[in-house]
Amino acid sequence: MIPFPDSPVAVLCSGGDAPGMNAFLRAIVRLGLNRHKVPVLGIRGGYRGLVRAAKQVNGEADELVRLKQEITANTGNRGLIDAKMSIIQMDHASVSGIMGKGGTILGSARCLDFHKPEVRRSAIQLLENLGVRALVVAGGDGSLTGAKLLAEESNLKIIGVPSTIDNDLQFTEMALGVDTAVHTLVWAVDHFIDTARSHRRVMVLETMGRESGDLARMAALASGAEMVITPEGGPLTEEAMIAYAEEIESAMTRGRGHAIVLIAEGVKFDPPQSRNGAYILRDAFQKYFQREGAPFQDLEVRPSVLGHLQRGGHTTPGDCILAARFAEEAWKAILDPNGSNGITALQHNKATIVPFGCPDLPERALSSVAMDRLHDDLSSW
């Protein structure tokens, strides 16, 4: 029987999946095996998988032995194909050929139970009993909050890795998945432009992004979309929507033949609305364009909520490279005896480790304002 790995590093993906998670997993495993000679345990299903394994063991010595035997007997791909296994000892073959694939081979999930201190304590106890020296958590804001709690409540080394297409983590210039999501949005806009030009239409496309408009504004700049509406502009009133419609109509009187409007999902409305923003905007635009005496009464407005299309697809080289850089920084922090817990970040184009709860980069807000102004000047007709 293969002996249970000594002082392994554990890694999990949590929350919404993001392109680049697989590339990061490959990098963290390969660096562990090749450079540092440290084994890596993959935890399936994020915090949920960790909690499930802790419940199975339930502090029982016999169950812990059984779990260790199960892990060592089913390494790599053999463990990955067994849906009942929550913890897998990763090997070279198990991360081969996954770098460009979206999603995560370990699976990801949200785990409400992890909000309970007693649940976290049982998870910490399991990791300590397995001899885990560090836990690496790839995920977004909620996942990194969970990692911060583990760092405060345990003696484990905890390293977070920002992985979210929303790019709403203000301490890093980019998170894993953003570059791929922007590429996917540009691809989508290119396809919508074809039909918008053919039929002289206004296409309103709703992007992801939670409370941040970064994904929408980057996609607007890269695709040539005529208009972008983000949460940072404040709640949309009826007057504001009419003003946007007037802007489109005015451009069409000067020769523009179509319009692509990107609206971020985090945009709020005044008064509040329960429907998707793309449909609310469609109705407001259509009403304005069809008013009596309007010059383009036959102008059609078509909405589309792009949704989880943005999460998938082949991971871009930019995200694959960032994943490798983040993995290298994570290993430096893990093996540094004087190193502390923290999160990988890209600051001034340099991969680094920042502490949990570190302040936002002031450049991020300034960059968003600058991008909005640049887009306005590029899209005006």
Predicted local distance difference test score (pLDDT) of residue 3: 59
Mean pLDDT of 225-239: 95
Q: H or E stretch including 189?
A: helix 178-199
Contact at 8 Å (CB) between 219 and 262? yes
- If asked whether residues 185 and 164 sit together in one domain, one would say no
Strands (E), the chain: 9-13, 40-43, 87-89, 134-139, 157-162, 201-207, 227-229, 259-264, 300-305, 342-347, 350-354
Predicted local distance difference test score (pLDDT) of residue 110: 85
Is pLDDT at 381 greater than 90 in this prediction?
A: no
- If asked whether residues 204 and 61 sit together in one domain, one would say no
Per-residue DSSP letter, 163: B
Predicted local distance difference test score (pLDDT) of residue 185: 97
Structure tokens at 129: 């009993």
- If asked whether residues 149 and 232 sit together in one domain, one would say no
In a domain, 1, yes or no: no
In a domain, 380, yes or no: no
- If asked whether residues 49 and 87 sit together in one domain, one would say yes
Q: What is the CATH number of the domain that holds 187?
A: 3.40.50.460
- If asked whether residues 91 and 237 sit together in one domain, one would say no
- If asked whether residues 249 and 275 sit together in one domain, one would say yes
pLDDT tens track for 41-74? 999 999 999 999 999 999 899 999 999 999 999 9
Predicted local distance difference test score (pLDDT) of residue 1: 34
- If asked whether residues 115 and 206 sit together in one domain, one would say no
- Among 312, 333, 367, give the residue marking a domain's end: 312
- Among 312, 345, 376, give the residue marking a domain's end: 312
In a domain, 369, yes or no: no
- If asked whether residues 119 and 196 sit together in one domain, one would say no
Contact at 8 Å (CB) between 189 and 260? yes
pLDDT tens track for 97-112? 999 999 999 999 888 8
In a domain, 85, yes or no: yes
Mean pLDDT of 145-149: 96
Predicted local distance difference test score (pLDDT) of residue 112: 87
What percentage of the chain has pLDDT greater than the value 90? Answer: 93
- If asked whether residues 52 and 188 sit together in one domain, one would say no
In a domain, 201, yes or no: yes
pLDDT tens track for 173-207? 999 999 999 999 999 999 999 999 999 999 999 99
Helix residue ranges per DSSP H, 202-335: 214-223, 238-253, 277-289, 317-335
In a domain, 26, yes or no: yes
Mean pLDDT of 205-211: 95
Specify the number of domains making up the chain.
Answer: 2
Identify the active-site residue in 62, 82, 166, 190.
166
- Among 279, 312, 345, give the residue marking a domain's end: 312
In a domain, 2, yes or no: no
Is pLDDT at 5 greater than 50 in this prediction?
A: yes
Predicted local distance difference test score (pLDDT) of residue 327: 98
Task: Please say if 194 is a catalytic residue.
Answer: no
Is pLDDT at 158 greater than 90 in this prediction?
A: yes
- If asked whether residues 193 and 302 sit together in one domain, one would say yes
Mean pLDDT of 241-254: 95
Residues 6 or more apart in contact with residue 265 via CB below 8 angstroms: 206, 207, 208, 209, 210, 276, 277
In a domain, 59, yes or no: yes
What is the average pLDDT value for the chain, to the nearest integer? 94
Q: Dihedrals φ, ψ of 186, to 5°?
A: -60, -40
Mean pLDDT of 247-263: 94
Q: What is the CATH number of the domain that holds 162?
A: 3.40.50.450
- If asked whether residues 21 and 165 sit together in one domain, one would say yes
Helices 46-57 and 61-73, axial angle in degrees (round to 10): 130
Tokens 């990763």 identify what position? 90
Mean pLDDT of 309-324: 95
Mean pLDDT of 21-46: 97
Domain residues for 115? 9-176+315-359
Is pLDDT at 2 greater than 50 in this prediction?
A: no
pLDDT bracket for residue 164 (50, 70, 90): very high
- If asked whether residues 216 and 184 sit together in one domain, one would say yes
